[in-house]
């Protein structure tokens, strides 16, 4: 006897909701690994998603903490992969899902003519995103009074796992190899903030121009809002250099909390960010400008949703991710946000994005398009499916 289409649709909806809930829990609690060497290598310290491992759940790849204190005490454990690369995920002793780990990319085995490993120049994020920190130094990080208390940008440099400045030529060489060997689909270029008024915009322009001359690869650039008298003019220059989308990351949205957690970066006010967002959207287009917000550092649900509504009104995609405490930072013992707290933000935010027609799938490149550091895109798609019925 066949089941009705309505029953099948409801069952599929329930399965998707359960998968989304599981991904949210994994990113909050982290994951214990029976075989730490399974899949692509995980990174400790550095910029971007650190102390994570890429994990594929029901066809979606997410970044899950594996080297944090909460991960060591996580109720989730991944068994060693079988011969086909499949992994049994357990909650305690109970099997709950089959997962897998993306394999180490082939370009990691290569090095430049002067002997720099490609993995020291750019790394694979998620399953098909090439990511690099062009400048691995930052004027904020170099001063304890000014540094962002969650940041570990200098750790991988100190450990010899990267180099301080990736040249445009090096980035172009690695990007081309990553596309040809591993099918990379887009690239993220972030940077530490230099002691120049452009706040990294110039070095990102130089880097993007070289990459786009070598390979057709969509690029997101990430920096603080450029300063100086011609600050907003940098957006047109970045677009002309081949940058497709732009990220300017608030991280924390409550002014007093910003001053406490990121005193150097907080000197660039939220008002300046909002002005820059508006100017950038005029250049890159609606949905092609985004910001990263770290949930769990003290901002309330209402504070994050309120500013997200304003950002969406400007055409900016607010990419909200759970805070991950990284070893060696002042906030290494700060608790990760609970799954309930993340759901209280991501569920209504997904509905807001869906209603506004801002879709992660429409972003040309970057963190929001990748979506691996948050389950936001799953809530966004979940709400879109509900609205379609």
pLDDT tens sequence across 267-325? 999 999 999 999 999 999 999 999 999 999 999 999 999 999 999 999 999 999 999 88
DSSP output for 191-208: -PPPSSTTTTHHHHHHHH
351: Cβ–Cβ under 8 A, 6 or more apart, which residues?
A: 379, 383
Task: Give the least confident one: 156-170, 217-231, 309-323.
Answer: 156-170
Report pLDDT digits (tens) over 24-44: 999 999 999 888 877 666 666
**Does the pLDDT at position 142 exceed 80?**
no
User: Which pLDDT belongs to residue 141?
Assistant: 83
pLDDT at 67 over 70: yes
- Which runs of consecutive H residues, i.e. helices, occur in the chain? 5-29, 69-72, 155-158, 168-182, 201-214, 233-240, 255-261, 270-284, 301-314, 339-356, 367-370, 376-388
Asked whether residue 9 carries a pLDDT value surpassing 50, the answer given is: no
- Rounded Cα distance between 56 and 23, Å, is 10
Strands 186-190, 219-222: pairing is parallel
Half-sphere exposure of 249 (CA within 13 A, CB side): 24
| pLDDT for the residue 29 | 92
* Average per-residue pLDDT for the chain: 90
pLDDT of residue 229: 84
> Tokens 């690994």 sit at which residue?
33
> pLDDT category, 153, cuts 50, 70, 90?
confident
pLDDT in tens, 90-116: 999 999 999 998 888 999 999 998 899
Q: Is the pLDDT of residue 202 over 60?
A: yes
């Amino acid at each position: 006897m066949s089941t009705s289409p309505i029953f099948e649709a409801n069952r599929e909806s329930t399965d998707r909701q359960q998968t989304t809930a599981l991904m949210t829990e994994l990113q909050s609690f982290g994951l214990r690994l029976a075989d730490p060497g399974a899949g692509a290598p995980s990174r400790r310290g550095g910029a971007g998603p650190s102390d994570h491992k890429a994990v594929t759940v029901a066809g979606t790849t997410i970044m899950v903490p594996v080297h944090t204190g909460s991960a060591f005490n996580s109720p989730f454990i991944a068994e060693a992969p079988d011969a086909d690369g499949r992994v049994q995920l357990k909650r305690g002793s109970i099997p709950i899902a089959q997962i897998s780990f993306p394999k180490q990319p082939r370009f990691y085995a290569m090095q430049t003519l002067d002997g720099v490993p490609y993995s020291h120049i750019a790394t694979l994020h998620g399953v098909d995103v090439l990511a690099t920190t062009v400048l691995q130094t930052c004027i904020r990080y170099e001063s304890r009074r000014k540094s962002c208390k969650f940041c570990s940008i200098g750790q991988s440099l100190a450990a010899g796992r990267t180099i301080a400045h990736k040249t445009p030529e090096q980035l172009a060489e690695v990007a081309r190899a990553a596309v040809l060997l591993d099918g990379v689909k887009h690239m993220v270029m972030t940077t530490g903030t230099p002691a120049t008024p452009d706040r990294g915009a110039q070095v990102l322009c130089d880097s993007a121009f070289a990459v786009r001359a070598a390979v057709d690869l969509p690029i997101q650039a990430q920096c603080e809002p450029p300063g100086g008298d011609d600050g907003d003019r940098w957006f047109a220059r970045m677009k002309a250099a081949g940058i497709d989308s732009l990220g300017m990351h608030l991280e924390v949205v409550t002014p007093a909390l910003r001053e406490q957690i990121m005193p150097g970066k907080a000197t660039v006010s939220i008002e300046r960010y909002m002005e820059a967002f508006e100017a950038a959207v005029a250049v890159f287009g609606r949905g092609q400008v985004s910001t990263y917000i770290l949930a769990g550092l003290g901002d309330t649900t209402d504070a994050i949703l309120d500013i997200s509504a304003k950002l969406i009104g400007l055409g900016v995609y607010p990419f909200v991710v759970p805070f991950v405490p990284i070893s060696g930072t002042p906030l290494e013992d700060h608790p990760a946000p609970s799954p309930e707290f993340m759901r209280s933000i991501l569920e209504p935010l997904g509905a807001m994005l869906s209603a506004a027609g801002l879709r992660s799938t429409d972003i040309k490149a970057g963190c929001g398009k990748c979506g691996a550091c948050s389950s936001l895109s799953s809530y966004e798609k979940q709400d879109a499916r509900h609205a379609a019925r």
